[in-house]
Amino acid sequence: MTDAIKIDVWSDIACPWCYIGKRNLETGLAAASGDEDAPVVEVTYHSYELSPDTPVDFEGGEYDYLAQHKGITPDQARQMLERVTGVAAEAGLQYRFDLLQHTNTVKAHELLHFAKEKGRQLELAERLMSAYFTEGRHLGRIEELAALAADAGLDSAEAEEALRSGRYLDAVRADQAQATSYGITGVPFFVIDGRYGVSGAQPAEAFTQITRQVWAERHADADADAVA
């Protein structure tokens, strides 16, 4: 039995390209899952804060955030959001920047580590990104995060206690330190089997191809070991 391919994903729930990358990864893996010898894959999400200095209650909308954070004009911000909305639609995602509530994401990252410990990280990552980009939910508030945790199959009271205690903050910082050691400066960033780095929201076909490639390499290595 060949061990599962490990895909480690650095992302931020407030990164529009990360949600697109997540969906494309899932679509690509689904395509490979139909192979006669389908790759076995294990996906883990890691913390990366794009804007750690953002206040929990940011004053203004996404246009205001882009203008302030990137130093661009409102018209440039509009063009950026229209572009990413179009790309998201191609991935099957309906972004609602008119509803989006920009916020600090550190507590959302802490919650993802809590969910990982409970075996529900993938479900929570999907729930958080959907809530943020398509529903206008406020992901900087502990009560809101606890409610979303329940949607992902977690105990809301336990999730709220974990967030208020701050006991997963060290895990968030460890992920960020590892990103620095890898030289990651933007997300999404995918580390495939600890050997290949893939940056950006690649098309689904790219994930299908690299997964098949790594799976074939795994079998070749296993065959070589058997001969030796």
Q: Rounded CA gap, 65 and 102, in Å?
A: 8
Q: Is the separation of the CB atoms in 23 and 91 below 8 Å?
A: yes
pLDDT category at 222 given cuts 50, 70, 90 is: low
- Kindly state the average pLDDT of the residues 200-217: 96
Q: Rounded CA gap, 120 and 154, in Å?
A: 7
**Domain containing residue 28: CATH number:** 3.40.30.10
Torsion of CA 95, 97, 98, 100, to 10 degrees: 100
Angle between helices 74-90 and 62-70 (to 10 degrees): 120
Q: Look up the domain containing 117 and give its range.
A: 5-227
Indicate whether 1 pLDDT > 60.
no
Indicate whether 48 pLDDT > 60.
yes
pLDDT digits (tens, 9 = 90+) for 72-124: 998 999 999 999 999 999 999 999 999 999 999 999 999 999 999 999 999 99
Q: Rounded CA gap, 182 and 199, in Å?
A: 12
pLDDT of residue 61: 87
pLDDT category at 63 given cuts 50, 70, 90 is: confident
Half-sphere exposure of 218 toward its Cβ, with a 13 Å CA cutoff? 21
User: Which amino acid, 110?
Assistant: E
pLDDT digits (tens, 9 = 90+) for 139-150: 999 999 999 999
Indicate whether 227 pLDDT > 80.
no
- Kindly state the average pLDDT of the residues 43-59: 96
- The pTM (predicted TM-score) of the whole model is 0.95
pLDDT digits (tens, 9 = 90+) for 172-199: 999 999 999 999 999 999 999 999 999 9
Count: domains in the chain: 1
Can you read off the two tokens belonging to residue 127? 């729930």
Q: Is the separation of the CB atoms in 63 and 74 below 8 Å?
A: yes
Q: Rounded CA gap, 181 and 173, in Å?
A: 12
Q: Rounded CA gap, 114 and 121, in Å?
A: 8
Indicate whether 50 pLDDT > 80.
yes
Strand partners, 6: 42
Q: Is the separation of the CB atoms in 21 and 93 below 8 Å?
A: no
